[in-house]
Amino acid sequence: PTAAEPLLVVDRISKTFGGLVAVNEVSFTVKAGEIVGLIGPNGAGKSTTFNLVSGVLQPSSGTVMFHGERIDGRPARAIVRRGIGRTFQHVKLLPGMSVLENVAIGTHLRGHSGVWRSIVRLNGADETRLLAEAARQIERVGLEKHLHDEAGSLALGQQRILEIARALCVDPTLLLLDEPAAGLRYQEKQALAVLLRKLRSEGTSILLVEHDMDFVMNLTDHLVVMEFGTKIAEGKPAEIQANPAVLDAYLGG
C-alpha cells in the first residue's frame, strides 16, 4: 500500500441481525504501520466489525478492501491467508496442551475448523515445519521459556500473548486484537503494550478493541469511536479525549 492507499479500507459496512442494526454504515481505514483503536461502550458493534473484517460474518452491505483488493464476502480462511491475523474476545486456547502445540495447531488451522482432523492430517515434514514456525513466533513474543508449559498454567497476560503468537504464524500484515488487555494487571498491560509497539516497528499494523483508556491513549496512533452501531468520532487519541460526543457516550449522557 502507498500513502494514498491505506492497508485496510472499511467503507460503509453494515450488519443487521434480525431487526437489530449491529453495525451501521461504518467507515474507517488502517494505514500501514499504524495501531488503530476501536473503542465504544458494550454493544456498540466493535466485535461485529472485527467479524466483518475477518470474514467470520458477511456484511449486509458495504465493502472491505485490504491491500487494494476486496475481501468482504470472502471466507475467513482466505482472508487469513491474505494476511489478516486475529485473536478473539474470549481466550480460545487448549489449556491442557503446551504453548508450542497451541501455536502450531492455530497455525495449521489458518482459519479452518476441526482441530483434531487437522492434527491427524499432518505428515512428518509438515509437522516439523509447523513446529519450527511456531517456535519462532513464540520467541518473537518472548514466551520461549514457556515453550513446553501447559497453556492453562500461564498467567492471563501470557495467555493473551500466546494467542498473539498464534495469530502471528500466518505472517499477518494486519493483526486484529479484540480486547487484548481486558482483565490484565497493570504490569501485564505494560508488557502487552511493549510487544504491540515492537510488532508495529516490525511492520505489522494493528487494529484493536480496548476499554482501558490509559492503555489505548498511550498506544494508538488513531482512534475510531463507535456507539449503537455507528461511528461517532475518529481522530488522534488527544482529539478523541477532548471530544464531547465521546465523553457523552462513555458517561451515558
Q: Which residues bind Mg ion (CB under 5 A)?
A: 46-47
- Per rule CB under 6 A, count of chain residues that contact ligand ADP: 11
* Position 126, amino acid: D
Task: Rank residues 22 and 169 by Cβ distance to ligand ADP and give the closer one.
Answer: 22
Residues 10-29 that bind ligand ADP (CB under 6 A): 17, 20, 22
Find the shortest distance in angstroms from Cβ 88 to ligand ADP.
Answer: 11
Is there binding between residue 123 and ligand ADP (CB under 6 A)?
Answer: no
**Cross-strand bridge partners of residue 208:** 37, 177
- Return the one option of Mg ion, ligand ADP, none that residue 201 interacts with (CB less than 5 to 8 A, by type): none
Task: Rank residues 19 and 124 by Cβ distance to ligand ADP and give the closer one.
Answer: 19
Rounded-to-integer distance, Cα 46 and Cα 4, Å: 26
Task: Rank residues 47 and 107 by Cβ distance to Mg ion and give the closer one.
Answer: 47
Residue from 27, 33, 43, 115 touching ligand ADP (CB under 6 A): that is: 43
Is there binding between residue 44 and ligand ADP (CB under 6 A)?
Answer: yes
Is there binding between residue 47 and ligand ADP (CB under 6 A)?
Answer: yes
